[in-house]
Structure formats: structure tokens, C-alpha cells
Structure 1
Amino acid sequence: MKRDHRLSAVAALALAALVTGTGAGSAATTTPSATSVTTHAFDSAPATATAPTHSFRGVLPVPTGPHAAGEEVIHLTDASRLDPWVPSSGPRRLTVTMVYPAVPGTGTPAPYMTLGEAAGIIQRQKFPASSGITPQTLSGVTTHAFEGARPEHGKYPLVVLSAAAENPRMTLTSLATELAGHGYVVALVGHTYEDSGETLANGETPSCAICDHPETNDLDVQTAGRARDESFVIDQLTHGNTAWRLAHLIDKHAIGAAGHSLGGAAAAATMLADPRVRAGVDMDGSFHPAPKPGRLNRPFLMLGRADNHSPGGTGTTWDQTWAALGGYKKWLTVSGADHFSFADQKVLQEQAGFPTPPLSPERGVAITRAYVRAFFDQTLKGIHRPLLDGPSPNNPEVLFQP
């Protein structure tokens, strides 16, 4: 069965439209042990490209909350373990984007990715110059997040986000800014060597060490590794307030985990391994592995596309997981959505002039934001959200299962 978290040709092009700088990044760099093979999405592109003919200006959806979204990128090193994919690189290094409730009108517009991260996407996907997709145009995507923004007073739940396999952390920026605007601190975790590139503290942007390599394609191993990354990030953000200057904003007793595709499987794996995580969300990802009965008795939301993740559908791990979940749980499917409707890709794909799924990309983002936020409001803040009680006439695409 085709892996649902791999980039399709069109979705990969949408992903390129995501990329914008989180600072002055270097060009994508690799070590010999971290070199990856370029995906086949655009291998037929002409070797000699003409001048760009498409003008691309990417804009992510505006957050709806009362707070602004502040942003700060931090770099963490787990000295207790070597990098699982490239041990020769030394201890596991992670890049994390922190998004937090901020005072409106403060700070400066935050970039989306470093130029090195943008170059990594382009190098991997072989975009034709006629698309107008360059590191410079990608760096112009408007995120509605602000660097150096003054934080709001108070303490807020922490939500850790993990992107799909081979996708950098920024593909969940629309969800992160929405949550921050409604009173959450969000940690977007970049899983080094697992995607097109995450710029590290030394300015290097190593490429994917495991993409296109069947020998590293054990998804149970990947989700377990991501769970270790996420628990380490939680450790660093909640112990001693030393890893991030604004860690005092975090309510360490209200922590959630969510992710898209493989990142959703990682959210479940993190909950299984870390009892501090009180609630989790899987957005259209198969579970690797499906939890055993009695193992996961805390709140969990499964939000996916109707054609693959409805009861009895091809995504069989959802049926297994639903039966095993012991706590408060919701299973929602979205008609007309495709795999990337739950992240930023489809909005930017449309703006780049490429085909979109039956569900409007803006609706995909709006639905994802509304239901994920409602779920965390109810499970981490204790605020009842009628949106989760059953079908809504304002959201006819969302079906409550089973």
C-alpha cells in the first residue's frame, strides 16, 4: 500500500511554496553520511531552465485569535544520545520554532524558513525555473508570526507539533500561529536528517539521511525516535527555564502533542512514552504501531480524510487504534480533503497556480484549526466546546465517526 505520508509530485511543489527564511540561512549542506537521493517528482524537468514566468507570492491564512503570534527559533542538543541517523555527527541536535501568545503590534514579521532550508527543498524537488520558485520567492511567504514580539502575561498550555515524513517543521505554521493566537505556546520540532533540511545552530542545513533508503524505512523506529525528540524538547522547556528565555509562559501541567501524517503517529508514540502529555491529535497519519488496548487512556483526536481514514477504510490502523483508545476520544473525517489538506501545502500550492483537491485549501486549514483548537481547549484548558459534540451545519464536510 502506498505510504500516505510521502510527498506526491504536486504536494511536493506545494511544499516548496512554503519555504521562507527563519534567519539568514546557508545553502543546504550535507556530510557524506547524510547525503540523500532527490525524489522523483520533477526528474523530467528540463536541464536548462528558462527565465521565471510565474510570479509567486505566498501568504498563509490569517490567525483568528485575540493575541498576536510571537516567534523565536531555538537550538537544542541532547547530549545523552548520538544522532540515530548520522551517529558520526555527534549528539542529537534539534531546531525548534517556538510560537507564543504576543502583544499585537510588537515585533517584526518572521520569516518562514532559512534560505538554506529553502535551497534544500529546491535541491530535492528539482523545481523548474519557470515556476518562479526560488529561495528568494519562497522566503517572501507571509506567516503572520512576529520575531521579537512582546509576550502576553500569563501561563499557557504547551503543544508540541511534528510534521509529516520528509517535511520540515514549518509546514504546520498555520496551525501553530492559530493556537498561539488563542493562548497556547507551540513548539514546532524539526527532526534532523529526516526531511529536506533543518538549519542547525552552526548554520548548516543537512539534508535527509533516511529519505529514499529502504533500509531505514522502519516506521515504528522513526516514530519512536520522534517520541524521544519530543520528550527531550518538553524536558528542555519545562526544567529550569534555561532552554528558552520565555519558558515561564508554559503551564507544565497542560501539555499536548499533535502532528500530521508520521507526525501524528509520533504524537501517539510520545503519549505512550511520556505521561506528561495529557492529550494528542493525529492528522491523517497511519499509526506506527497502533496502540495496544489499555496503553493509551488519555484524550485523543483522530482527524483525517474521508476516503482513507473512515471506518473500514484502507487506513486499517485507525480502526485498531480507535478500539484500543480508553480515554475521551473523537474520530472525525473530512470529505473532499487529501493528505496535505491538514497542513500548509495546499494553500500555497493554490497560490503557486497548481491544482487543488475538491476541498478548498482555505477550508482545509480552517477545519484543521477549528477542530484541533477545540479539542485542546476542552482537554488542556477544560473549556467545553460544542463543536466537538456532533455534526455542525457550519462544517458539513466534517463527519463524526464511527
Structure 2
Amino acid sequence: MAMKDYSDEFKADAVALYESTPGATYKSIAADLGINRATLREWVLRDRERRGAAAPSAGGTPAAQAGQTASSADPDERIRQLEARVAELEASERKLATERDILRKAAKYFAGGDQLVSRFQFVADHRDAYGVKRLCEVLGLNRSSYYKWLSGRKARASRQSEDRLLAERIREVHDESGGAYGSPRVTAELRAKGLRINEKRVARIMRTFSITGIRLRRRVRTTVPDPAASQVPDLFQRDFTATEPGRKYMGDITYLPLAGREFLYLATVLDCFSRKVVGWSIADHMRTGLVADALQMAASTRGGLDGAVFHSDHGAQYGSRAFADLCDQLGVTRSMGSVGTSADNAACESFHASLKRETLQGARDYGDAGTCRRTVFAWLARYNTRRRHSANGHLSPNEYERRHHAAKLTLAA
């Protein structure tokens, strides 16, 4: 269910996202935010009017050593024996020189790793100069394996061509995700576009063409327990699933690094059924108001939270009297994990790790506060409407809930 009453913070962030996105249209930004195009346009025009701005248009081995020379008093026999030995040594030297030459030329083939395919290719490229037998001996190859590889050259070239075409499609999906998607989500996106493919092939091509997702950064602790807070039971017991939307929620706080070692802080509320972000708030502090604003947004998004369970860690904000009063007012039952155990709120921890991995993309910070707020706001909105989630069978949270409601209506009929 979409929000009926949008907070001033949400409206301001939506306008800022539209104004700061090059080439943006009302339709594309509204789709990302899950709101009506006309509603976004009204907010933008109202903001421009307030600011007094006019609205613009939209080898082998050496030869064996000869036996000992038989003792002979005949000088001619001795000379013949020495000449034969010299000829043998010269042949061995020529063989060693050839092997050194082969290995020097092979080095460029193995620059990216000594792979069997690279050695086969080297033999194919130099067989006229050195011969297949000598090359295979020097490189430690079985000749029958080389000829088998050679016979499959046409089929291999065809597969390589197909892989290059597929790599282009993978790169498009990867770029659309902001460089965040790994092979599982890329596979799901390609399947949604009608392509029959398995994840192992996608992963192989991504490795071959150096297409990689974004890796996690080191966490910073934001949970500070309040020793004076009343005891709240753990009603989740690490079960972060739900059979229906609107029954179980979970929340947490994470830091957002800025330039100059400053921070903003983000509080979120997730629905355990679909992992949808139903509430969030960004501020330059970690007071109780931060988590309270996120919970109130969740109530507005869902049209109420009466009867729901909200799970969090033992942060002082969640254990405060003010937050407990707000939960009572909204009809929410509180649940808390064990002190000092991140696994008791693992789903939220994972969500925040994904958010920062995909928005920072390896950077140390977001820069200024305005850029940080716009970047995170855009990601949160797109997360609900477009980002595929592994817990939802690689469907976005909104699509997962839509299919669930449609299935219920079908059963009721």
C-alpha cells in the first residue's frame, strides 16, 4: 500500500532527486519512488515557485652421455671419438637453445596465468617453426590432447562469439544496477527478459570479462546499549520471515560517512515478508527522534501498525522510554535480540551492508551531506520498486507483494 500522506522530508528529497538527476523525467523518477507522476510534478513546481525559479521544459631431456672412450694408442681413433663427442654436445646445445627460445616466446601467452588453453594456442601458432612434437615436449603437453583441442576450434570459436554477445547483455544489466549486481541477480534479470541461461555460465562470463559486483566494506559500530532500559523479550529468535506483509518488522541504524570524518545516520524499518523498506529517516544525530521518525513513516506507508511486532537491537534509541511510548501509541509490540549479538538482527545488518556497498561503490565517503542524502534516498526508492532480492525469488519487494495479493484474490474468487 502506498503512502497517502507524505512527510515534508520525503517531498523535499523527491524534489532534490529529480532536480539533481541529469536528463530526468517526471515519469522515470516517479516510477523509482513509487508515486504518481502528477504528484511529483506538483511538488517540483511548488518548490520552484517557492524559490522563485521558472519551471523549465520537461622439453625434452638432453641426449644421454656417450660411454667412456675406450683406451687406445691410435691417435686417429682418439680424434674420431672426440669429434663424435663434440658433435653430440653441439646437438644438445642446439636443442637447449631451441627450448630456451620456445619458452621466451611462450612467456607472453602466460602473462595472465599459465592456462592449458594458452599452451595449446601457443603450439598452434608456432608449430611451423618448431614442430608440434618439440613444442609439446617443452611445454609438458600430451600431443593427443593438443590435436583434440585443435579439432574443436570451430565449435570453440562459435562459443566464444556467443560469450562476447552475452557479455554485452550482462554488462548492460550490471551497469543498470549501478555496478552492484553479482551473478545471481544478473541471471534473474536476464531470465526476466526472456533469456534461458544458468547462473554458472553467467558467473564464468563475468569472471572472464572482469565484470564484478561491489564488495563489502568494514563495519563501524553504531549500537550503544542503554543499561537502564527495561528488558524486552526476543520474539523473533532469528526468524526474519513472515507469512503476510504488515505483521513483522525489523529496524536498525547505520552510519553514512561524509568528507572530513563527519557522518549522517540512517534509521530504517523493513517488512520481514518482502524486505520492503516501509520507513526511513536520515539525520546528523542518533537521538531517539531518528528511529521514531522512521517508525512513523512506516505507519504512514502501511496505513497503521496496530498488532505488528517490531524487532531491533539493544541500541539506546530503541530502548528509550520515548520510543516505547510511541510503540504503545501505534499498537506495536517490541522485540529485541541479545546484547552484543549482531546475528539477532542479521537481516537489517545485511540490508545496510548492501546499501553502502552499492551506493559508495568502493569510495571512502559520500562527500557532502546533500549528495549523501540524495544518493541514499534514490537507492532506497529504487530498492522497493526495481531491485531484485534473493529472499523474494529475485523479485523486487513491491512486485513480490503484488503477486502475493493477486494470488490471495485468485484463491478468494
TM range (shorter): under 0.3
**Structure of greater relative contact order (alpha carbons < 8 Å, 6+ residues apart):** 1
The structure with more radius of gyration: 2
Question: What TM-score do you get using the length of structure 1 for normalisation?
Answer: 0.24
Structure having the higher helix fraction is 2
**TM-score (structure 2 length as normaliser):** 0.24
Structure with greater proportional strand content: 1
